[in-house]
Structures are given as structure tokens and as C-alpha cells.
């Protein structure tokens, strides 16, 4: 009688664990998919920011050229002023 109850308990435990195994696998797969999806979004954002940091837009290029032109003109005016004062540039 004791052997039969142990066998019944063992079979119930085994059946329960098999049923829970499906839930556990589903939970692990769902969690993994969520983590991987978040990682892909973060990676995409990082790559996008890296591309933006490396590339220069036409507007940025124009602004940089204008700034360099103003700096060059300022230096030329200083040089002319020094030459009028009899100094070297």
C-alpha cells in the first residue's frame, strides 16, 4: 500500500513538473525576447547617434566655413593694423 501511494505521489509530482515546465519555458522565452528586443533598440540608438556624430550635414559644413572665414578676416585685420603700426604680423 505504501509503495502504491509513493508511486502515485511520484507520478503526480512528475506530471505537475512536466506541466509547469511548459510555463517555465514560455516565461524564459518571453523574457529573453523582451531583453533581446530592448538590446536591439538600444544598439540601434547607439549606432544612430554614432553615425550622426561622424557625419556632417550641409548646414554644419556651411556654418563651419563661415566661422573659418570670419576668423581669417579677423586675423587679416589684425595683421593690417600691426603693419600700420610698423610691426610684423
**Nearest C-alpha neighbor of 53 from the set 62, 41, 45:** 45
How do the pLDDT tens digits run along the chain, 89 residues long?
A: 677 777 777 777 667 666 766 665 566 557 666 655 665 565 566 666 666 777 889 999 999 999 999 999 999 999 999 999 999 88
Q: Is the pTM of this model over 0.75?
A: no
Q: Classify 87 as helix, strand or coil.
A: coil
pLDDT value of residue 71 = 98
CB-facing half-sphere around the CA of 33: CA atoms within 13 A: 6
Q: Are 77 and 83 in contact (CB under 8 A)?
A: no
pLDDT value of residue 74 = 98
**Nearest C-alpha neighbor of 82 from the set 74, 71, 69:** 74
Q: Are 82 and 88 in contact (CB under 8 A)?
A: yes
Amino acid at each position: 500500500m505504501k509503495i502504491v501511494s509513493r508511486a502515485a505521489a511520484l507520478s503526480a509530482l512528475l506530471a505537475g513538473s512536466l506541466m509547469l515546465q511548459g510555463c517555465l519555458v514560455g516565461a524564459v522565452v518571453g523574457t529573453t525576447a523582451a531583453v533581446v528586443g530592448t538590446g536591439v533598440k538600444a544598439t540601434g540608438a547607439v549606432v544612430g547617434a554614432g553615425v550622426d556624430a561622424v557625419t556632417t550635414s550641409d548646414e554644419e559644413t556651411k556654418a563651419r566655413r563661415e566661422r573659418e572665414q570670419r576668423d581669417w578676416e579677423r586675423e587679416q585685420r589684425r595683421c593690417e593694423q600691426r603693419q600700420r603700426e610698423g610691426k610684423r604680423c
